[in-house]
Amino acid sequence: MGRPKLTTIFTSNNHQTLPTSDPTRQSLVENKPDTSKDGFPYSVFGFLRRLMSGNKIDGGSRTEAEEKVYSWLYALAQSDKDLVFEYVRSTERGLSFTEAERRLRENGPNVPFDYSFPSWWHLLWNAFFHPFNIILIVLSVLSYITSDNPNGCIMLVLVFLSVSLRFYQEYSSSKAAMRLSELVRCPVKVQRCAGRVVQTELIVQIDQRDIVPGDIVIFEPGDLFPGDVRLLSSKHLVVSQSSLTGESMTTEKTADIKEDQSTPILDLRNICFMGTNVVSGSGTGLVVSTGSKTYMSTMFSAIGKKKPPDDFENGVRRISYVLIAVMLVVVTIIVLTDYFTSYDLSESILFGISVASALTPQMLPLIVNTSLAKGALAMARDRCIVKSITAIRDMGSMDILCIDKTGTLTMNRAIMVDHLDSLGLAKEKVLQFAFLNSYFKTDQKYPLDDAILAYVYTNGFRFQPSKWKKRDEIPFDFIRRRVSVILETESHAEDRNHQFLDRFMVTKGALEEVMKVCSFIEHIDSGAISTLSPEDYQRILSMAEAISNEGLRTIAVAIKRLKLQNSNGSVANDEAFELDMVFLGLITFYDPPKDSAKQALWLLAEKGVKAKVLTGDSLSLAIKVCKEVGIKTTHVITGPELELLNQDSFHQTVKRATVLARLTPTQKLRVVLSLQTVGKHVVGFLGDGINDSLALDAANVGISVDSGVSVAKDLADIILLEKDLNVLVAGVEQGRLTFGNTMKYLKMSVIANIGSVLSLLIATLVLKDEPLTPKQLLTQNFLYSVGQIAIPWDKMEEDYVKTPQRWSKKGLPMFILWNAPVCTLCDVATLVFLCIYYKAGSLVDSKFFHSAWFVEGLLMQTLIIHLLRTEKIPFIQEVASLPVICSTVVISAIGIAITFTPIGEVLGFVYLPLSYFGFLVVLFLGYFSIGQLVKRLYIFIYKRWL
């Protein structure tokens, strides 16, 4: 087998189908064809299916595909080798070249992952196909038909800006799983048989894409398993499964064992999984699953298919359909009323188009994308890259953050804690020989060596390594899991004619492996050395277990004195010298939590974001870290324990648990899905490993770090340039600010537009004439829309950003029903005042009425933001940001001044008397008073405002 340059072998080219002629195989593994397509017809039908479908994946149980893969692998792990050959229809000699080619044609290439990525035109269509964009395009076409070219041009420009921003954002993040599609091509050593009469066994190298079930593969250190493999033979085989588990610890595998159903799947010692690699040792194995039938494929087949729906987008679509229905009814009535009054069909249609345009929140897509882009820039200043800008809004709604312990809560580096003898007492001699081992070893220095050296230097120990000389070394390997150095120093001898040397072998490594070569134990206080008894052995193991339960890592130290008189004597580099050693003690290490982690988690909790730790590490270590950073550990559970729960118990346990340890990637996915679908939470997930990719892809907000693996960064929505949770605190605040300003515009715009259109309808029915001409109405709408561009730069109240903010299905309709009539009431008051005081209802005074109605309507729509943007009394208890204030002043001034300019004459306006502006002052004081009263009643009933 060859050695790949990358650590992953994910691809997305063809869907694998395994042989199905064997009845046993057929009953255990079955493939369902992938019916997903990429294209416009399929996207539309898929959208309709998703819209009408009520089926949800809640994470409480495995999928059907997962169950089949699990059953297949457990059946093989519990079977004898002969039966395994029967299952895959192979022989001990391997497959013939003819049979292998047939299976390759039948199954297709050995690729584990099948996922089609959207094309650029598909993304462009999704960006274009938005209800408000369609409304604006229809209105633009109608405007061009009725020769209202300026209005049509303005609406097309708005559509172009909205679609361009959305397409750019989606296209930039569409590569979210592209690296999973890159197959690492490497040769694999395979045993095949050749010959028609007398078959001979041949060892050949083939590309791993050509591996088929039934092949016998030969592997050595550094090789990557090309499929799920049942071991046939093994010699000191050690495998790294970090690509599946995220744990750096290695796993011993052996062929001569039969497993049982109670063993967790990743702990099966006679099964090696696709995507894992050989650290040391060698062996042979029978390929039992390839392509989409592997364990890894069941994990990553979920990529891109579990993303929860965006409540905000769904809500916007629903309200857009409501506006379309209102538009059709109101515009039809207005057109018919105007036509039967003026008998001018083209003018009536043009006025109807203008009313429809006024009812449409034309700036919504632009405001939304501007708010998100502003949030992305703000997070960039905090050293945070936002790949999917909609994730900023989701961060404002996030109420649960799932985090991986390693490198997120902790510093991801070892710090030495103590040096203990066999009785658990701190002894300097243990530290001295551990230091000498780390100081003189020339093999690769590991983080634990650096931690020992740093501890000695910073604590003032003087072990004088210059008085020691290194003579030999037995380097570390993953079979022995220890390293030995042979050192010598001058002994205290009175005979000056001869140079006597003390020679020591100093060994350091995993406790179990060091104790295997120890026959004695030193009692350091007395200096006595005694035989290592079973009681001593058990006492040391119990002490190490207690230390491990405290979240500390241990290594053992042992020595062996080799007293040689000849200074030129040499010791061979042979493991046989690692015998009859003297056990000295233990060195303990700790991966400390970050100083900023506790403060950041406290700030997140203060803002309503609960933290859950989802890690592949041991439970004891996770609990220790969580206690130090302030995460409650009253409810904890491990992955193997989760596997034993039924669906309801699973959901209840996930809901309560704050620490979930020893989780596999699929279990992390199931936890995230359970929180989303059953718990109704908006979930963020912070991870940086391949084993986190499923959860990253499924979470509402996927967060990774710059030092994470490429797959995790590609699937993440947000990438942190520093592993600092405080950046997330700022992101949550920015998300809530973005969400608040977006909702502010949406509610204000819909209320103002609906109130205005209802007022136009009432005025049309009363006056039997147009309250405004089409040009005046479009000018009013244009000025109002331009004035709202400043909303993304508004601020939010402190109480608003303290709690997660989510789209409420009933919130917007009720908000409209309460507040829109207030706008209409003020417009009707203006209508009554103009008709009674100025007697402006006649056709003779139509220009005066148009001018007065134009100014009042524009000021109403401009000032409404100040009433709706806060729970408090506007301009007294709460003042908007400077950009919003300036926008209000400028647009209001333009609206008033335009009636006195030549542009006003072109539009058909006349001068307004000063008394009318006095009326407007009284009107708006009344409007704000009534609006504030309605606001307090609404808050009293619904307990919230925006």
Q: How far apart are alpha carbons 685 and 695 in whole angstroms?
A: 7
Q: How far apart are alpha carbons 487 and 493 in whole angstroms?
A: 18
Alpha-carbon distance values, 418 to 343, 426, 431, 452, 622 (Å): 96, 7, 8, 10, 20
The type of residue at 691 is N
DSSP character string of 52-100: H------SSS--HHHHHHHHHHHHHHTS-HHHHHHHHT--TT--BHHHH
Q: What angle (nearest 5°) sits at the alpha carbon of residue 853, between those of residues 852 and 856?
A: 85
End-to-end alpha-carbon separation of the chain, Å?
61
Q: Which residues pair with 96 in a beta bridge?
A: 193
Q: How far apart are alpha carbons 359 and 337 in whole angstroms?
A: 18
Q: How far apart are alpha carbons 262 and 281 in whole angstroms?
A: 27
With the CA atoms of 217, 221, 226 and 232 taken in that order, what torsion angle do they form, in degrees rounded to the nearest 10?
40
763, 771 contact by CB (below 8 A): yes
Q: How far apart are alpha carbons 811 and 316 in whole angstroms?
A: 12
Show the tokens assigned to 841.
Answer: 């209802």
Q: How far apart are alpha carbons 606 and 945 in whole angstroms?
A: 21
From 901, 751, 881, select the one nearest 818 (Cα to Cα): 751
Q: Which residues pair with 420 in a beta bridge?
A: 426, 586
The type of residue at 470 is K
Q: Please tell me whether residue 13 adopts helix, strand or coil conformation.
A: coil
From 544, 602, 633, select the one nearest 725 (Cα to Cα): 602
Q: Please tell me whether residue 279 adopts helix, strand or coil conformation.
A: strand
Q: How far apart are alpha carbons 214 and 90 in whole angstroms?
A: 5
Q: How far apart are alpha carbons 795 and 881 in whole angstroms?
A: 6
Q: How many CB atoms lie within 10 A of CB 775?
A: 16
527: left (phi > 0), else alpha (psi -120 to 50), else beta?
left
The type of residue at 630 is G
Q: Which residues pair with 193 in a beta bridge?
A: 96, 201
304: left (phi > 0), else alpha (psi -120 to 50), else beta?
left
Please state the φ and ψ torsions of residue 723, each to the nearest 5 degrees: -80, 70
Q: Is 404 a catalytic residue?
A: yes
Q: How far apart are alpha carbons 701 and 813 in whole angstroms?
A: 27
Q: Please tell me whether residue 417 adopts helix, strand or coil conformation.
A: strand
714, 176 contact by CB (below 8 A): yes
Residues 443-472 as b/e (b if ≥16 CB within 10 A, e otherwise) read: eeeeebbebbbebbeeeeeeeebeebeebb
663, 617 contact by CB (below 8 A): no
Q: How far is CA 51 from the centre of its chain?
A: 24
Helices 725-767 and 811-837 cross at an angle (nearest 10°) of: 40
571, 697 contact by CB (below 8 A): no
Greatest Cα pair distance, the chain, in angstroms, is 133
From 941, 934, 940, select the one nearest 821 (Cα to Cα): 934
Q: How far apart are alpha carbons 347 and 597 in whole angstroms?
A: 66
Q: Which of 114, 223, 399, 404 is catalytic?
A: 404
Show the tokens assigned to 944.
Answer: 């919230």
- The residues that are catalytic are 404
